[in-house]
């Protein structure tokens, strides 16, 4: 009777039928399921559990799971079933909709293989290495198990081909952020940024998803020979927005304008009467410009260069010469500094005069000696 019942049950199923079953046992290479209303055993081989390669059946299902399955083979006392085929059929329909809509969705990276990443979306999805990030990634090993956002860039059900891109999502988000950032920028704003790249003509600074250029002339109040002398990649800086060209997505920035100017506290650094060391920077017909602090030059008028009359400053000074100067007047508002070299030479002369006084006594002694000799000649 039992055999006859089994024969009846077998005839109720055909290849391609859809059934629902509950997992009763998970073995290493197959899963046993109970099919309600049937006394036949249901068997799912490990190869029919997932679209991805798995080492053991327990990686895909657990006892008690309710599964939708497709009959792939009818045997005398068992049904051979597939979970993979049902999952794939549902998946292709859903994936087609996502592809047509350009939808962004999240899924877990199941495996890292040569050339990219693998995901399970009911069917095997592949992410080529070039489509993982917008930047170069040398080692993808730590991507396994991570959940990333993706877009489908290629779908072909007939060839069972599904190509995904995380890079497309990153670049799309970056583009939106860039437009929002550009729209919010205003000339005169002072914002924080990070030096991204250094060139011969300046430095590109990231100010929140977009880069702006700090021209070499806007890096410092002092003269800069090479941008790398002033800033380094990765350095955090404050920048002022000089101009925004939204059509061409160009932003001009300044670090210099966020820094205290060299003249900002000149009254404290160079009060009237103070003596400073400086370097002759320029010689003109009416005097010499001497740099006493980086970016701060004062004028030594030709009348303040020497005690004697000189026709041109070139007679006494040369560019690059180190000199000592005395501050005659300081005007912080107009950024003017009046200096004197002569006043320090005057002091020097007085000191020399005081020091030489004893020599005069030697002169008197010499006169006395000459006088004595004349007396002797008279005799």
* pLDDT value of residue 196: 95
Say whether pLDDT at 7 is over 60: no
* pLDDT value of residue 358: 47
The SS3 call for residue 79 is strand
* pLDDT value of residue 362: 42
* pLDDT value of residue 149: 96
For residue 372, name the pLDDT band (cuts at 50, 70, 90): low
* pLDDT value of residue 246: 87
Lowest-pLDDT range of 70-74, 186-190, 252-256, 344-348: 344-348
The SS3 call for residue 94 is helix
Mean of the per-residue pLDDT values of the chain: 86
Whose structure tokens read 């099919």?
Answer: 35
* Residues in Cβ contact with 351 at an 8 Å cutoff, skipping those fewer than 6 apart: none
**Helix intervals (H) in 155-284:** 167-184, 266-269
For residue 51, name the pLDDT band (cuts at 50, 70, 90): confident
What CA–CA distance (Å, rounded) separates 309 from 299?
18
Topology agreement, domain 95-170 and domain 186-258: yes
Say whether pLDDT at 234 is over 50: yes
Say whether pLDDT at 238 is over 90: yes
What are the extents of the domains in the chain?
Answer: 2-82, 95-170, 186-258, 266-344
* pLDDT value of residue 346: 57
Mean pLDDT of 4-14: 54
Q: Which residue has the higher pLDDT, 28 or 150?
A: 150
CATH topology of domain 186-258: OB fold (Dihydrolipoamide Acetyltransferase, E2P) (2.40.50)
**68, two tokens:** 């939708």
Mean pLDDT of 169-173: 92
**81, two tokens:** 């079933």
Pick from 7-21, 46-60, 102-116, 169-183 the range whose average pLDDT is largest: 102-116
The SS3 call for residue 224 is coil
* pLDDT value of residue 252: 95
pLDDT 10s digits, 283-342: 999 999 999 988 899 999 999 999 999 999 999 999 999 999 999 999 988 889 999 999
Q: Supply the DSSP string of 97-157, one letter for each residue.
A: HHHHHT--EEEEEEEEETTEEEEESSSEEEEEGGGT-SS--S--GGGTT-EEEEEEEEEET
Distance from the Cα of residue 216 to its chain's centroid: 19
Say whether pLDDT at 349 is over 70: no
pLDDT 10s digits, 199-213: 999 999 999 888 999
Mean pLDDT of 96-114: 94
What DSSP element (H or E) covers 347? helix 342-378
pLDDT 10s digits, 153-163: 999 988 989 99
Superfamily of domain 95-170: Nucleic acid-binding proteins (2.40.50.140)
Longest dimension (CA), the chain: 178
pLDDT 10s digits, 257-286: 898 788 888 888 899 999 999 999 999 999
Domain 266-344 classification at class level: mainly beta
Q: Percent of the chain, pLDDT > 90?
A: 59
Q: Which residue has the higher pLDDT, 62 or 39?
A: 62
CATH architecture of 2-82: Beta Barrel (2.40)
């Amino acid at each position: 009777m039992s055999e006859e019942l089994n024969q009846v049950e077998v005839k109720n199923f055909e290849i391609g039928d859809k059934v629902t079953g509950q997992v009763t046992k998970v073995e290493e290479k197959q899963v046993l399921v109970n099919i309600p209303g049937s006394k036949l055993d249901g068997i799912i081989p490990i190869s029919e559990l997932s679209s991805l390669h798995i080492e053991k059946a327990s990686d895909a299902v657990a006892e008690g799971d309710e599964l939708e399955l497709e009959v792939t083979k009818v045997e005398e006392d068992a049904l051979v079933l597939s979970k993979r085929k049902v999952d794939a059929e549902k998946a292709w329909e859903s994936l087609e909709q996502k592809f047509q809509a350009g939808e962004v969705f999240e899924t877990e990276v199941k495996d890292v293989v040569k050339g990219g990443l693998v995901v399970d979306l009911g069917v095997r999805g592949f992410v080529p290495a070039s489509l993982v990030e917008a930047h170069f990634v040398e080692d993808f090993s730590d991507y396994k198990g991570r959940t990333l956002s993706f877009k489908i860039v290629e779908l072909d059900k007939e060839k069972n081909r599904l190509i995904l891109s995380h890079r497309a999502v990153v670049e799309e988000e970056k583009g939106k952020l860039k437009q929002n950032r550009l729209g919010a920028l205003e000339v005169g704003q002072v914002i924080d940024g990070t030096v991204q790249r250094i060139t011969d003509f300046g430095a590109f600074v990231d100010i929140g998803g977009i880069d702006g250029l700090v021209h070499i002339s806007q890096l410092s109040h002092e003269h800069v020979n090479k941008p790398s002398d002033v800033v380094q990649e990765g350095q955090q800086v404050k920048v002022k927005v000089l101009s925004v060209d939204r059509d061409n997505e160009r932003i001009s920035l300044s670090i210099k304008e966020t820094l205290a100017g060299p003249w900002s506290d000149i009254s404290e650094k160079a009060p009237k009467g103070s003596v400073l060391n400086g370097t002759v920077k320029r010689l003109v017909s009416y005097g010499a410009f001497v740099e006493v602090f980086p970016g701060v030059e004062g004028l030594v008028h030709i009348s303040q260069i020497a005690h004697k009359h000189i026709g041109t400053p070139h007679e006494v000074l040369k560019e690059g010469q180190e000199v000592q100067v005395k501050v005659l007047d300081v005007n912080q508002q107009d950024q003017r500094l009046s200096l004197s070299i002569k006043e320090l030479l005057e002091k020097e002369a007085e000191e020399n005069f005081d020091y030489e006084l004893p020599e005069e006594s030697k002169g008197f002694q010499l006169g006395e000696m000459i006088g004595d000799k004349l007396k002797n000649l008279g005799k």
